[in-house]
Structure 1
Amino acid sequence: MPAGKPAGIACVNLDDAFSCPLFGRPERPDLCAQFKPELSVCGDSREHAMQLIELLEIATEA
C-alpha cells in the first residue's frame, strides 16, 4: 500500500482471519517488518486494538 491507508482499515494483504500471508517472507513490506507493536496501541486483542485506534483518531482529529 504505497500511498498508505487510513487507521482502522485492514491492510489489503490480510486474509479473512486477519493473518498476514506475507509474514516472514521476503516480499513483506519493510514498514511492516519494522513495526513494533505496543500494548498502548495494540491492546491485548484485535477488538481492543480497534477501540484504541478509534480513540487515537478522535484525539488527533484536526
Structure 2
Amino acid sequence: MNCRLGCVLCCIAPSITSVIPGMPKGKPAGVRCIQLNDDNFCMIFGLPDRPDVCAEFSASIDACGTTNEQALWLITDLESSTC
C-alpha cells in the first residue's frame, strides 16, 4: 500500500518518543510534528536526523484504512492500546 499524499496522520496521531529536530523530547499523540511543512511534507525525510520509528513506518490497510478518517481512528486506537 502507498501512503495517501497529504494524509500525514502518522505524523500527527501517534506519540513519538525519539528526539526529533525541533522537538527534543519527541512529540505527544495528537500533536503535529514540527518537521511537517505547510504542504504536509516531512522536511527531514531521508535525512539521518529523522527518527527510526518514522523511517520504519509503512502504510498498511491495518493502520491507514482506506480514508484519512479511518487512518485517524485506527492510529489513535493503536496509540491508546499501546500506552
- Greater Rg, structure 1 or structure 2? 1
CA gap of 1:44–1:24, structure 2 versus 1, over 3 A, is farther
The aligned counterpart of 2:55 is 33
Runs ≥4 in structure 1, deviation > 4 angstroms? Answer: none
Unaligned runs of 5+ in 2: 1-17, 20-24
Q: Distance in 2 between matches of 1:33 and 1:16?
A: 20
What displacement does 1:51 show? 2.3
CA gap of 1:13–1:52, structure 2 versus 1, over 3 A, is same
Structure of higher RCO (CA pairs closer than 8 Å, 6+ residues apart): 2
1:53 aligns with 2:75: yes
**Could you tell me the percent identity over the aligned residues?**
42
What displacement does 1:43 show? 2.1
Q: Distance in 2 between matches of 1:37 and 1:48?
A: 13
What displacement does 1:11 show? 1.3
TM-score for both structures, normalised by structure 2: 0.48
Q: CA RMSD in A?
A: 2.7
TM-score for both structures, normalised by structure 1: 0.57
